Amino acid sequence: MKILTIGDLKAIRDRAAGKLQLREQSDLATDGRCCGLNIGTGHMQVLICGGTGCKASSSHIIGEKITGLLQEKGLSDRVDVVTTGCFGFCEKGPVVKIIPDNTFYTQVKPEDAAEIVEEHILAGRKVERLLYLDPKSGEHVSDSKHMEFYRKQKRVALRNCGFIDPENIEEYIARDGYKALADSLLGKTPEDVIDEVKRSGLRGRGGGGFPTGVKWEFARKSVSDIKYVVCNADEGDPGAFMDRSIMEGDPHSIVEAMAICGYSIGSSNGLVYIRAEYPLAIHRLQTAIAQAREYGLLGQNILGTDFSFDIEIRYGAGAFVCGEETALIHSMEGKRGEPTMKPPFPAESGYLGKPTNVNNVETFANIPVILTRGADWFSSIGTEKSKGTKVFALAGKINNVGLIEVPMGTSLREVIYEIGGGIKGGKKFKAVQTGGPSGGCLTEKHLDIPIDFDNLLAEGSMMGSGGMIVMDEDDCMVSVARFYLDFTVEESCGKCTPCRIGNKRLLEILNKITEGRGTEEDLKTLGTLGKVIKDTALCGLGQTSPNPVLSTLAHFHDEYLEHVRDRKCRAKQCKALLTYSIDPKLCIGCHLCAKNCPADAIMGDVRKPHIINPSKCIKCGMCMARCKFKAISVH
């Protein structure tokens, strides 16, 4: 292990700055010109997304092929192939970015590697068919600066994702990495650091929104021989991948932030609790920790000071309830992942009964840049009570699915229609679920509210960790509520009665309604029981689990009434409420539907119109899928 000095850090920064300077300059390029080696470009870089989504679509093979072709042509010394973290534009992955002309290729396949090398790198001609096609203008866009998806984003927590090689500590250092740690250890007291975090206005990004600096201050004031810093990387919301992408794309920011937190609260022990289903994030975090130890940025006497700090990784089995800090702590202790009553808070008695500070990945990712650029800079972003930016996993019926980061106060309309590119297939927007399974559904009337902690809570939803799922006219809101509640019932630890039994009763009522057996009295019970569960459940999971039910009941009450009064589902999603019929004017009696019906529910002679027996029909839709004459309809 080395003992680095400030001079050593500066030397490393200067050594790695050249490659990154080329990326920083190209990131500002706006002329759209293509650079190739044959037209005098001194050096080029090929950045390839190495996030889980793009790797699943063979981005690593693209990198291997481009590297092999460059070696064959003797160009390895002039063109670097760099695997980065997530670019965010998951809908259009795998993404390949060419530096210095900042060309942004989308949906690249391994077989495209040769054309990129021959056309772009050697001939200096862009591969037009791989450029992003703007759905509004119908024109190709060559670089990310001119894409609506990126235009309104402000990347703070994601500042290095898609920019640096996450497995190269020197590239992180070249981006002012570990500068905040060095400045804190050599020039600030722990109280100074905590005060800076407090003044920044940073609130926890894990869902609760508690002021981070205040949390650190509580842990600092707790007296103990041993304290712990815990990073909550147990990201369990369906459709959410914010923390995973940060760990995959910028793991050193988490390592540095945890060390800063350790210095601030008086801890030498760091623990990262991460779900085992994140193998790539685990690998990159392990690599970052090993590199930080090698460079003397973790371990004993960091930067020659008296401060020592190290980090261990603990694995979770994917229990959603372990996102709650006390349940997480119990899981790390080898106990059942169940929450406990607070107080005492973890800052007083946490892991192994010692004072423990728990923050999630995105919260930690903001710490180094806050201390490097200052609390005033960070607090100038966002709203009065919600400072900075927020990372969202934008998914669902949206054109631009991906990972986005916007200033607090950005409206839902801007996120959905500008960054997200609107609803897929030109369908009508119906609702957006924010905050994951514990959040609520917001409607068209909420599109112009500024997104922040307090506004979302006031409308019956929540920020949560940042899941944002968009729904269109084809979604049934009763089914949506049932889906989320089914998830929370499955994930409940079962410790408290309101969550264990109350949510089960809620789910049973929703099942009745979607199966055509519900009554108007059931709707009253849903509202009453949901509010009781919110008021009496032990932890955040139970206290927020009725949100999808209560919000859809409030905003889509007419849809619930249709289900119980008319036994109809306007979105045609509730199978039990559907009726299939055959139009005798269109049916030619080909018998294809009858042959494919698994329930023998279709009757009729060949070449004569058929009929469906509703008592035998299992509403599988097979007949409708097989009919070539569009004679079968559902209503």
CA distance 447 to 131: 31
Residue 31 clears pLDDT 90, i.e. is over it: no
Q: For residue 100, is the peptide bond before it cis, meaning its omega torsion is within 30 degrees of 0?
A: yes
Q: In a 10 Å sphere around its CB, with 0-12 CB exposed, 13-18 middle and 19+ buried, how is residue 458 labelled?
A: exposed
- Token duo for residue 394: 């934008």
- Token duo for residue 278: 């994140």
Rounded mean pLDDT, 489-502: 92
CB burial of 144-176 (b: ≥16 within 10 Å; e: otherwise) equals bebbbbbeebebbbbbbbbbbbbbbbbbbbbbe
Please write the tens of the pLDDT for every residue from 398-418.
999 999 999 999 999 999 999
Please write the tens of the pLDDT for every residue from 426-438.
999 999 999 888 8
Which has the higher per-residue pLDDT, 237 or 280?
Answer: 280
- Token duo for residue 309: 């700090």
Amino acid at 111: E
Contact 514, 481 (CB under 8 A): no
State whether the Cα torsion 105-109-115-116 is positive or negative. positive
DSSP, collapsed to helix, strand or coil, labels residue 441 as: strand
Please write the tens of the pLDDT for every residue from 203-220.
999 878 899 999 999 999
Contact 23, 99 (CB under 8 A): yes
Fold (CATH) for 477-566: de novo design (two linked rop proteins) (1.20.1440)
Q: Could you say which of 1.10.3720.10, 3.30.70.2740, 3.10.20.600, 3.40.50.20 is the CATH number of the domain covering 389-472?
A: 3.10.20.600
Q: In what order do the strands lie in the sheet with 402-407?
A: 402-407, 389-396, 467-472, 429-434, 440-442
pLDDT at 472: 95
Which has the higher per-residue pLDDT, 1 or 138?
Answer: 138
Count CA atoms within 13 Å of residue 597 on its CB side: 24
Contact 202, 363 (CB under 8 A): yes
pLDDT at 32: 61
Residue 29 clears pLDDT 80, i.e. is over it: no
Rounded mean pLDDT, 336-364: 95
pLDDT at 160: 96
- Beta bridge partners, 407, equal 389
Please write the tens of the pLDDT for every residue from 572-589.
899 889 889 999 999 999
Q: State the first-to-last Cα distance of the chain, in angstroms, to the nearest integer.
A: 70
Count CA atoms within 13 Å of residue 144 on its CB side: 23
The mean of the pLDDT values for the chain is: 92
Fold (CATH) for 31-138: Glutaredoxin (3.40.30)
pLDDT at 28: 60
pLDDT at 12: 85
Amino acid at 487: F
Residue 180 clears pLDDT 60, i.e. is over it: yes
Count CA atoms within 13 Å of residue 556 on its CB side: 28
Contact 246, 157 (CB under 8 A): yes
For the chain, the farthest-separated pair of C-alpha atoms sits apart, in whole angstroms, at 91
pLDDT at 265: 98
- The CATH number of 169-379 is 3.40.50.11540
Fold (CATH) for 579-634: Alpha-Beta Plaits (3.30.70)
Residue 38 clears pLDDT 70, i.e. is over it: no
pLDDT-above-90 percentage for the chain: 79
Position 137 confidence tier, pLDDT thresholds 50, 70, 90: confident
- Token duo for residue 241: 């991948």
CA distance 400 to 392: 13
- Tokens 């108007």 correspond to 520
Contacts of 108 (CB under 8 A, 6+ apart): 59, 62, 94, 95, 96, 116, 130
Position 235 confidence tier, pLDDT thresholds 50, 70, 90: confident
CA distance 124 to 127: 10
Residue 156 clears pLDDT 90, i.e. is over it: yes
Rounded mean pLDDT, 69-95: 94
Which has the higher per-residue pLDDT, 192 or 492?
Answer: 192
For CATH 3.30.70.20, the residue range(s) in the chain are: 579-634
CA distance 339 to 345: 11
Rounded mean pLDDT, 468-475: 94
Q: Give me the torsion for CA of 341, 344, 347, 348, rounded to 10°.
A: -150
Residue 55 clears pLDDT 60, i.e. is over it: yes
Residue 72 clears pLDDT 60, i.e. is over it: yes
CA distance 494 to 169: 43
For CATH 3.40.30.10, the residue range(s) in the chain are: 31-138
Element (H, E) at 360: strand 356-360
For CATH 1.20.1440.230, the residue range(s) in the chain are: 477-566
Contact 337, 328 (CB under 8 A): yes
Q: Give me the torsion for CA of 480, 484, 487, 492, rounded to 10°.
A: -150
